[in-house]
Structure 1
């Protein structure tokens, strides 16, 4: 058994594994392997010359706490049935984490099928979305204030602008540009979806949606103002002869629930979406911009079973708004695993929650220090591949 990057002539083998393990449509899989697949970002398990397991490391820039980081989004983790149970997933994940560390990437993201599979590798829950399930008749009272029209490639710069405006107050989102949206158009098309824009005095909103039998799924509903949102909700209602209900996925701080005529007729739930992981803890901490004038030192024991450089006791000192880190044989003030550190680094939890989730009594010195470094924010990400 050998773990390595894919070769030029192995694309079809890797697609066969993907087709066996996932229920994607042929059109979507065609799109993915023609447009997004990259052998240089594909890790495989080679058993006696046969590719039996693979994953891909799709590259993005993620905006985390005001800074952009190159990050690998782990997708397509798949293994053929005849070799399941041999520990190949553990082997391929170990190799991947080592490679990400060597590539000097500080963080990574992953959308899990089952959270339990990936927690053992240090990935932890860091993103939620709100999911609305709405009877489409509940939207009939909204008024249209502009026009809706099918988006084209001429609208790419408007989509980027709306995206940046809508997500200005959320954390952890992906940097999108015109090329991103050009690819997204093709992805949505491959799944039979639609992209429409709203225009009043300006182009101030867009919607990405899919029609599935008598249900509509809205993947993104982004807007610059409430009138734009109301117009697009009316646009959804105008499908009432085709659809009985609509599911809308939104950021955790979305405003739809505040303007529904009767929210009790809708189901509104929090949907876990994405996991995150710190790959290089020391470099991540040193890269932070600290606003506080606090000068203090604490010792933290970190448990990371897969990246040895993250594992141990770290003396972390704050002076002149910068952190210095020293690893050594120190007595520690508190102990966290890399999962908790990842949730703090992604701003998904605050320091008090870190103590609660680890069943620890709060240490005032540690809490004060870490609260100057980590703060809880509203996270949002909506990438599927």
Structure 2
């Protein structure tokens, strides 16, 4: 439970719903996200809401607002474990402006902190909604247009059956490791069975691209009316060949040459910021990273939502080893720092996310946010290896 004060000193009460109550939230989803089809929601409430977590705010048992946490096995640098993807943050129109979303985010973050999750992530409707709560973009998605071409005899594109998911999972895991992806959802058999069903709920599926019989690519597809869309291709071929391969995937869908379709995850159009993330358990977050060189030093951190992350942190690691982080007690910190150092402005957890995720360099961040990082902290952060490649492209 959480007590967050409103203007009239009324308490907002957040409750985690029991599993058998999850279906109650579908009506609010349909009201707020009216663009989603009944087929998609049928999929979601049987394949995701049957094992996720849902936090809600109610008035006389009437649902007023909700936030859902969908669990994924995430590889994040040296970390492998459960992390939550925040989806369906929704408030009834007549209840907005009361602090409900803030209350839901706080309670969800506190619960995830207790589980020791390094961070959480979401696909925002608008950056400005989540920016004040410490979320920052970490993943840009390529965008482009693919035109179907003449069918090539050496390449076949076949919609995957559920039995193909074992092969798809093994291919994707190998490719992502070979590409040295730092952060991605683990591609196991369960992942591809679920994601295939998700695409089918949107009149699509999963295409398997085989070159002379050998699996060399995967690409999701969906359709709305006569409009096709390709999503997030994973292709094991030279970059120069990718356009041709995707033109073959497009041909498989429309069965003729010259069809134009949007492709998410490939193209030369300006990249689109898609996924934002927020630090949850700072100790675990630091542990996701390796040292570029031997390091040892202290950094002061602030966190408006999770006070457990605030204070003076001692970081240490040998070159090529994970970062070890320990938070000093207030008494110990005061004794070590002295009054002058304690007056220095701490670094928000959002800055750590932007820099260590590799989304922004320290110099870019200082220009963008006009947030100067103290010299000692800057020197320490520069010794930490940021993430190389992030592939977080799930829809729900």
User: TM-score interval w.r.t. the shorter chain?
Assistant: 0.7 to 0.9
Structure 2 unpaired stretches of 5+: 1-11
Following superposition, the deviation at residue 360 of structure 1 comes to 5.0
The separation in 1 between residues aligned to 2:349 and 2:110, in whole angstroms, is 15
Query: Does residue 148 of structure 2 align to residue 148 of structure 1?
Result: no
Greater shift, 223-232 or 183-192, is seen at 223-232
Match of 2:262 in 1: 247
TM-score by length of 1: 0.85
Match of 1:261 in 2: none
Match of 1:306 in 2: 305
The separation in 1 between residues aligned to 2:60 and 2:259, in whole angstroms, is 53
State how 1:88-99 maps to structure 2 within 5 Å.
Answer: 88-99=100-111
Match of 1:325 in 2: 326
Give deviations 1:209-251, integer Å, cap 9, x for gaps. 123345321013222124576334234146375974211111x
Structure 1 unpaired stretches of 5+: 258-267
TM-score by length of 2: 0.83
For the aligned residue pairs, the C-alpha RMSD in angstroms reads 2.7
The separation in 2 between residues aligned to 1:221 and 1:157, in whole angstroms, is 18
Match of 2:382 in 1: 371
Residue of 165, 173, 197 corresponding to 1:164: 173
Residue of 202, 216, 235 corresponding to 1:204: 216
Following superposition, the deviation at residue 143 of structure 1 comes to 4.3
**What SS does the aligned partner of 1:140 have?**
coil
Following superposition, the deviation at residue 7 of structure 1 comes to 2.8
Rate the CA distance shift 1:181–1:49 in 2: closer, same or farther, 3 A. same
Contact 1:302 1:310 in 2 (8 A): yes
Match of 1:272 in 2: 273
Match of 2:6 in 1: none
The separation in 1 between residues aligned to 2:366 and 2:161, in whole angstroms, is 49
Contact 2:206 2:218 in 1 (8 A): yes
Contact 1:350 1:374 in 2 (8 A): no
Match of 1:233 in 2: 247
Match of 2:231 in 1: 219
Q: How many aligned positions are there? A: 366
Rate the CA distance shift 1:361–1:185 in 2: closer, same or farther, 3 A. closer
Match of 1:120 in 2: 132
Match of 2:297 in 1: 297
Give deviations 1:260-305, integer Å, cap 9, x for gaps. xxxxxxxx1211110111101123324644352x24323x332211
Match of 2:66 in 1: 54
The separation in 2 between residues aligned to 1:211 and 1:295, in whole angstroms, is 51
Match of 1:264 in 2: none
